[in-house]
A and B are shown apart, each in its own frame.
Chain A
Amino acid sequence: MAVLTTWTWVCLAGGAVLCIGLTSSIFRRRKRLSVPRNVVVVHHFFGRGWTVPSKSPFPMKLETFLRMTKTPYMNDHSGQMSKKGKTPWIEFNDIQVADSQFCIDFIKKKRGMDLNTALSVEQRSIARAFLKLIEENFYWTMCIELFCNKENIPLLKRSAPLKGPGFWLYYWFVRRAIQSATWGHGIGRHSVEEVWCIAQSDIEALSNFLGDKKYFMGDDPSEIDCSLFGMLTFLLVSMQGTRYEAFTKEHHPNLVSYFQRMKVTYWPDWDTLTTSSDKFTNDHGKLYFTENIPE
């Protein structure tokens, strides 16, 4: 047998990965759900997590909103990505919407509802600003800490979808994707320690604004609570064992108490939706809030 060159091996490996990816994609497509009318279908690319209902904060945000508003919905865990390359995305009566915030805006319009009605004009603008702090800044600090700080590799190994040599391939791909995205964003040009300083400022601002309020903006939940809860799920559970989580628990316990309150209120079935739990049940295709489906 002729000796194969290094480039030939690289091409063969790339081809193998492509074939596996395509086959997986075709196989996943066969599991498309049949969906009743007037039900929101939430497409989760990552599926349920080991210790969290979703590994990404954005599906958590969206699903928390659906639960907060008791909107009829079902989850699709077949792993399809939206046309924008973003996840999560939704389908509603054959209309597709990508981007978690656009999804929420769409659902609000379709159902004629608004969680922010009790907020003053100034409060709504503050909520918008914090939404951007959480999703356009703080989120990236956590991604950089997890995948660009080598101290967190043992933590990643525990929760990664691939083990052994496969883990390093997964780690390399995800790290490169985050480095590319955050370089374009700008925050990726800072060192891991500089990003840590930025994150501490964000955590402090969230904690100081929350204070001892029950929800972020006051006594009643509003839309920003969905995003903040999704991000705190990532921070306090997915990033458990990191300095980010330790810092929050030690210096800003009000955020931890807030997270627990939201979890108990809107995710009483948390244990059935995390794959590490012996109570886990796959809710692919399960309908929620069917009593609210309009006739």
Chain B
Amino acid sequence: MGAITNFVICITAAMGVVLITVIRRGRKRVKKVYPPNTIVHHQIGRGPYAPSITPFALKLETYLRMAKLPYLNVHDRVRSSKGKLTWIEVNGEEIADSEFCIQYVNRKFNVSLDEGFSEENRAAALAIQRMVDEHLYWTLVLQRWVYDSKDGINISKMLNFPWVITPTLRNFVNKQSYAQGVGRHTEEEVHHVMHEDLTALSKFLGNKKFLLGDRVCQTDGAVFGMLAQFYWHSFGGYGEKSIKKYPNLCDYCERMKVEFWPDWDDCITHGWTRKATK
């Protein structure tokens, strides 16, 4: 018994040391010097079939392209001051949260993609952004990290994560989504609200080219970033089957890809078979 206890203590201590080292390395930020007046977009690296596996990094980078702003990517997996995965720095100033980043660059670079749209349309677009980022997002993460494994999808292999941390991530998603509210529903109920959001998006878009008409608005970045995860990063699971019930949303994803990501193939790893060059 004594030997077993000692063994367990040693293993636990070793795991603790490894965990702390990994966390510290993640937090360590070596201040680099970047070109002035250039947006430095910190993110976690390219995805297998879309430029990012996180909707918010794709949202932000798509926005920077929509607004034709000077930027460069740093794939350093360093979390922001708020513990989030996508953030920017400009002339040494750090800004976290994709929406705050967009507001910052709008002020700094005098950009307003929503100019020219009516107040009512802009209000509706903001509501769409809230629905997508604060509600549809949770159905996506629950599907990806909790339900897909039950359907036989090896998500850690698909997203190139070590399989040992998948249970931790699943637990984390369960806790966060429970706190948020969506995680208190059954799987069937989550699917129901997922479809309600996708239906609303589909009906709002209709046969328009972009959300508010023939040119993009600020919210197109958010919608594309989220829908891209359903369309390209659901790996044949329920998320992909769901979005394919809305052909206009699929067409919208392809259109945004062609319009703002002509170098798409250089920004993905093609199923982790090669390194992205951009």
- A residues contacting B by CB (< 8 A) are 84-86, 99, 102, 121-122, 124-126, 128-133, 136-137, 180-186, 189-190, 194, 198, 201-202, 204-206, 208-209, 211
A165 and B127 CA atoms in complex are apart in Å by: 41
Contacts of A130 in B (CB 8 A): 124, 127
B89 proximal to A (CB < 8 A):
no
Q: How far is the CB of A58 from chain B (nearest CB, A)?
A: 11
Chain A CB within 10 Å, residue with most, of B84, B122, B131: B131
Task: Tell me how many residues of B have a C-beta within 8 Å of chain A.
Answer: 38
Contacts of A194 in B (CB 8 A): 100
Contacts of A128 in B (CB 8 A): 131, 196-197, 199-200
* A132-B197, A190-B82, A208-B122 given; A183·B179 CB < 8 A: yes
A102→B189 contact, CB < 8 A: yes
B184→A133 contact, CB < 8 A: no
Q: How many A-B residue pairs have CB under 8 A?
A: 105
- B residues contacting A by CB (< 8 A) are 82-84, 96-97, 99-100, 119-120, 122-124, 126-128, 130-131, 134-135, 175-181, 184-185, 189, 196-197, 199-204, 206
22 CB contacts below 8 A, A to B, read A121-B203, A122-B206, A124-B200, A125-B202, A125-B203, A125-B204, A128-B200, A129-B130, A129-B131, A133-B130, A136-B130, A137-B134, A180-B179, A181-B179, A181-B180, A184-B180, A185-B134, A185-B176, A189-B83, A190-B100, A208-B122, A209-B127
Contacts of A133 in B (CB 8 A): 126-127, 130-131, 134
A202 and B130 CA atoms in complex are apart in Å by: 9
The answer, among B177, B180, B200, B202, for a CB contact under 8 Å with A129, is: B200
Contacts of A86 in B (CB 8 A): 181, 184
A126 and B189 CA atoms in complex are apart in Å by: 21
B184→A126 contact, CB < 8 A: no
Contacts of A124 in B (CB 8 A): 200, 203
Contacts of A125 in B (CB 8 A): 199-204
A189→B84 contact, CB < 8 A: yes
The answer, among B97, B127, B184, for a CB contact under 8 Å with A84, is: B184
* A124-B203, A180-B179 given; A85·B184 CB < 8 A: yes
A136 and B180 CA atoms in complex are apart in Å by: 8
Q: How far is the CB of B201 from chain A (nearest CB, A)?
A: 7
Q: How far is the CB of A51 from chain B (nearest CB, A)?
A: 26
Contacts of B124 in A (CB 8 A): 126, 129-130, 209
The answer, among A99, A122, A186, A208, for a CB contact under 8 Å with B204, is: A122
- Closest B residue, CB atoms, query A105: B192
A101 and B70 CA atoms in complex are apart in Å by: 44
